[in-house]
Amino acid sequence: MKSINQIQDEIIEEFSMFEDWMEKYEYIIDLGKELPLLHEEQKTDDRLIHGCQSRVWVNTELSESKLHFTADSDAIITKGIISLLIRVLSNQTPQDIVTTELYFIGKIGLQEHLSPTRANGLVGMINRLKSEGLKHLNL
Amino acid sequence: MSTFHVNQVRKDFPILDTKIHGKPLIYFDNGATSQKPTQVISRINRYYENENANVHRGVHYLSDQATQAYEEARTNIASFIGASSPKEIVFTKGTTDGINTIAYSLGELLQVGDEILISGMEHHANIVPWQLLCERKGTILKVIPVLEDGTLDLEAFSRLLSNKTKLLSVVHVSNTLGTINPLDFLIKQAKSVGALVMVDAAQSIQHLPIDVQTLGCDFLVFSGHKVFGPTGIGVLYGKLDLLNSLPPYQGGGDMIDQVTFEKTTYQEAPLKFEAGTPNIAGAIALSEAFHYLNSLDLQSAFAHELTLGQYLRANMKDLPSMRFIGEAPDTCATLSFLVGKIHPLDLGTLLDKQGIAVRTGHHCTQPLMHRFNIPGTVRASLAFYNTQEEIDQFIIALERSIHLLS
């Protein structure tokens, strides 16, 4: 089982091969297309993170002391970045989810997607994943 | 013979030389805010470096100079929009502030059951203040429907007008669709039932010649920052008698005549509506923006912009799965669109990577988005400093983005 930081480093390594923004975004868009969808009935208000422009839904399940996330969005680039976040944070312990710093987003040059004006719901998504971790910390 | 040369004019706007993600900036988000010419930027500097003082009170030299410049700004702006007196120009924070002023002050004079008529393509700024008024005073908000092509349903408009209609508050140019509304007709009809008319000129003041007396509107509002001036300053035009007949909106310094604990009397318009120290630098710089516009061959500048708008539409309409939201015969160089099922945010993100600034989302017109049953659009909104070459680049970038997302 890889740790959060091992996965982050893996992603940074993968992204270092892209030579320009087009390759990078092509990859993110492909990830977005591959991300398993949530069922329509799972897109409920309690799973919804309001991002103003693109909507993001997160489903959380706990098994064997680990949190498992699935998520969806109506915007494909948002979905691609979500897929990276899920790869990093899903199947990890609440403790690790809460305490590990997410540095890969900055390192792969996607920091701009986390600016509050982006209105893509990603900041809300990260907050949600972290708070799900917190919620399950003491269980 | 046109004396408008776009490449010359672009030199006045330093930001247009910026590189974004290593690519030359193509700024197509003028509907959100316009860029500022050097003349305006230096005017702000000059004011703070040499002229700064508070207005209307001091007896000293600088205060006198500042007051004079501030009041000259009023005069200059009055003349630009054809007001009959500088006293008809109230400085505000912007369009939203202007509408809220009237919604409050005029609202105080309205009765339960009086009707306010707006249109289905209003910005939230011309919806919410009226909803607040309706909650406060029991007035009723009526809405002129928008037709499929993005024009107003004028038959419905005529049916909605009655002697209960106290105010028509309508947008001149839609910020989302670019539709130019037929103000002459709307104002004439509204006047025939005795209603007052307020025009939201936030998206027209920078694109079309405006003369408030020819229009015959009672109020007109716009923001400085969309017409090449700074943010935080705007204008509320009102007919003088009308302004003087309204109660004040906010109380405080500058707007008073005499204050005692028993009774306070107010200044006449426009100062009655300018409580507190105003945005002096903003007003002076906005005046400089109009001064700058007057220095251009404005008719040719506007014509250049319209040609660009037509060129943009013509070059986009044949792209696969392209859908224009709003196809009114009469539009400004603002174009909202969607491409197949692609999310507007995705297109906006990829255009940004190519140095292109557009707006995506609902553009503060959620009811209009509901009308077209869409979550949002991508909007390209042009200004006279944009060029045909930029549009060509934009089309290439757009095609590339669509390709990546498909």
Task: Give DSSP secondary structure letters for B303-345.
Answer: HHHHHHHHHHHHHHTTSTTEEEE---SSB-SEEEEEETT--HH
Query: Nearest-CA residue of chain B relative to A79?
Result: B346
3-class secondary-structure state, position B28? coil
Domains and CATH numbers, chain A: 4-39+48-135 (3.90.1010.10)
Answer whether A21 sits within 8 Å of B21, measured CB to CB: yes
Q: Does the beta carbon of A98 lie under 8 angstroms from any beta carbon of chain B?
A: no
Return the minimum-mean-pLDDT range out of A134-138, B184-188, B229-233, B359-363. A134-138
CA distance A28 to A80: 5
Location of structure tokens 């997302």:
B405
A24, A91 in Cβ contact below 8 A?
no
Answer whether B375 sits within 8 Å of A74, measured CB to CB: yes
Query: Taking 60 as the threshold, does the pLDDT of residue B346 lie above it?
Result: yes
Query: Taking 80 as the threshold, does the pLDDT of residue A10 lie above it?
Result: yes
Query: How many beta carbons lie within 10 A of that of residue A73, not counting itself?
Result: 29
Residue B245 — very low, low, confident or very high, per pLDDT cuts 50/70/90? very high
Domains and CATH numbers, chain B: 6-30+297-405 (3.90.1150.10), 41-294 (3.40.640.10)
Alpha-carbon radius of gyration of chain B: 22
The predicted structure's pLDDT at residue A51 = 64
CA distance B252 to B106: 19
Answer whether B345 sits within 8 Å of A29, measured CB to CB: no
Q: What is the DSSP string of B155-174?
A: HHHHHH--TTEEEEEEESB-
> How confident is the model over A68-78, as a mean pLDDT?
91
Q: Does the beta carbon of A43 lie under 8 angstroms from any beta carbon of chain B?
A: no
How far B352 CA lies from chain A's nearest CA (Å)? Answer: 11
CA distance B129 to B121: 15
Helix, strand, coil shares of chain A, percent, nearest 5, are 55, 15, 30
State phi, psi for B365 to the nearest 5 degrees: -135, 60
Q: Does the beta carbon of B353 lie under 8 angstroms from any beta carbon of chain A?
A: yes
Residues of chain A neighbouring B406 (CB-CB closer than 8 A): none
Query: Taking 70 as the threshold, does the pLDDT of residue B320 lie above it?
Result: yes
Token readout for B291 is 């001064």
Residue B398 — very low, low, confident or very high, per pLDDT cuts 50/70/90? very high
Query: Taking 90 as the threshold, does the pLDDT of residue A38 lie above it?
Result: no
How far A66 CA lies from chain B's nearest CA (Å)? Answer: 32
Residue A139 — very low, low, confident or very high, per pLDDT cuts 50/70/90? low
B351, B404 in Cβ contact below 8 A?
no
CA distance B33 to A47: 35
Query: Taking 80 as the threshold, does the pLDDT of residue A53 lie above it?
Result: no
A118, A110 in Cβ contact below 8 A?
no
Q: Does the beta carbon of B376 lie under 8 angstroms from any beta carbon of chain A?
A: yes
Nearest Cα to Cα of residue B83 among B233, B215, B268, B229: B215
pLDDT single digits (tens) B136-189: 999 999 999 999 999 999 999 999 999 999 999 999 999 999 999 999 999 999
The predicted structure's pLDDT at residue B231 = 98
3-class secondary-structure state, position B246? coil
Return the minimum-mean-pLDDT range out of A99-113, B208-222, B348-362. A99-113
Compute, in degrees rounded to 10, the torsion defined by CA atoms B88, B89, B90, B91: -170
Quote the mean pLDDT of chain B.
96
User: Active-site residue numbers of A?
Assistant: 52
The predicted structure's pLDDT at residue A117 = 63
Q: Does the beta carbon of A78 lie under 8 angstroms from any beta carbon of chain B?
A: yes
The predicted structure's pLDDT at residue A121 = 74
Q: How far apart are the first and last CA of chain A?
A: 22
